[in-house]
Amino acid sequence: MRDLTEAQVAAGHSVGIVCDSTTGGEFEERLFEQMNDMLALGIHRTPMQRHVGPGDAASAWRTYRIIKELRPDVLHGHGAKGGAYARLFGSLLRVSRSRVARLYSPHGGSLHYDENTTTGKLFFALERFMARFTDCLLFVSDYERRTYRRKVGEPPIPNTLVYNGLRAAEFEPVITGADGADLLYIGMMRDLKGPDIFIDALAAAGPQLGRALTAVMVGDGDDLPRYHGQVKRLGLDGNVRFLPPMPAREAFALAALVVVPSRAEAMPYIVLEALAAGKPMIATAVGGIPEIFGAGSPALIRPDPIELAARMSQALADPAAYRNLMPDEASLKARFGADVMAAEIEKAYFAALNK
């Protein structure tokens, strides 16, 4: 969001952000403070619960009043809740004023549900219904687009694939500190992202290499105490450091090898950021991650601790050889540059406005 916002401001657009106020911490607050002065339409934070619940009516009303006051030409909703608000409120604004373009980027969201469950069927029926209030769907990975088609159906509206993008400064290499750990996990502390897989693999990989491995785990979340307990139970207390959220590039300097052990993803920025920074990685072949590395890349594994442990051992046994398996910088810039992303999204905005 920050990279896209900065690119849109640089292109001369007036941009604002409306988002949840109940998630995030000090790190996210600092990011908002850094962005605030550049946004002509400001940053507006209001409580928005992730899941459907009794607080949605009040949340929706507060959000609608903010958006009505801003009078935007384009509403771009990110995630299931943001997408619902952008499309519904954009439609309401069109009743009383000129055209408002309504765009939606799922980012996984409701697409994570199983289409065979009652909950999944309900959400996918809602997605089909919401299509009539949508001018364009923007997918961040081909995996996401294929999943939408399989679970929701062929979109009856314009849709396009626009990969997440990184700024030029993010392609500067990050050197591991002299006292760096072997392995880094950075992300939300919740099972969907696989911290438990990472810890189990860490315990198994040490004996394979014949030495105790060290790791840094950066992030926060409700499940964090459980991961502390898992580390203690496996006797890894002295080998694992837990740190609060921090800028990704600061975290990359803390370890030699980055691991993304997620059970599900759409198109995770952290993978792009790590590769752009020149960090060797191991990642699970879920969501759009294989689109970054290329199908069949030896850097990809299943979300399984035994498989992850074996790959950790391989990568740490010969770091130079493993580093050569990563995608090259030129191809990453050509596909995942912020300028490329912003230009494609701007094109979609104008197409939606001119329909």
pLDDT (0 to 100) of residue 95: 86
Predicted confidence at residue 109, as pLDDT, reads 74
Task: Report pLDDT for 83.
Answer: 93
Domain with residues 2-165+337-353, CATH architecture:
3-Layer(aba) Sandwich (3.40)
Q: Check if the beta carbon of residue 186 is closer than 8 Å to that of residue 220.
A: no
- pTM of the predicted protein model: 0.82
| Tens digit of each residue's pLDDT, the chain (355 residues) | 888 998 899 999 999 999 998 887 787 888 889 898 999 999 999 988 777 777 788 999 999 999 999 999 999 999 888 999 999 999 999 987 778 999 999 987 788 889 999 999 999 999 999 999 999 999 999 999 999 999 999 999 999 999 999 989 999 999 999 999 999 999 999 999 999 999 999 999 999 999 999 999 999 999 999 999 999 999 999 999 999 999 999 999 999 999 999 999 888 999 999 999 999 999 999 999 999 998 889 999 999 999 999 999 999 999 999 999 999 999 999 999 999 999 999 999 999 998 7
Give the separation between CA 205 and CA 196, rounded to whole angstroms. 14
Q: CATH 3.40.50.2000 occupies which residues in the chain?
A: 2-165+337-353, 169-335
Q: Which distant-in-sequence residues (6+ apart) come within 8 Å of 16 by Cβ? A: 39, 40, 41, 42, 43, 44, 70, 72
What pLDDT does 266 receive? 83
Q: Could you tell me the fold of the domain covering 169-335?
A: Rossmann fold (3.40.50)
Q: How far are the Cα atoms of 62, 121, 188, 212 from residue 23, in angstroms, in the given order?
A: 17, 28, 11, 35
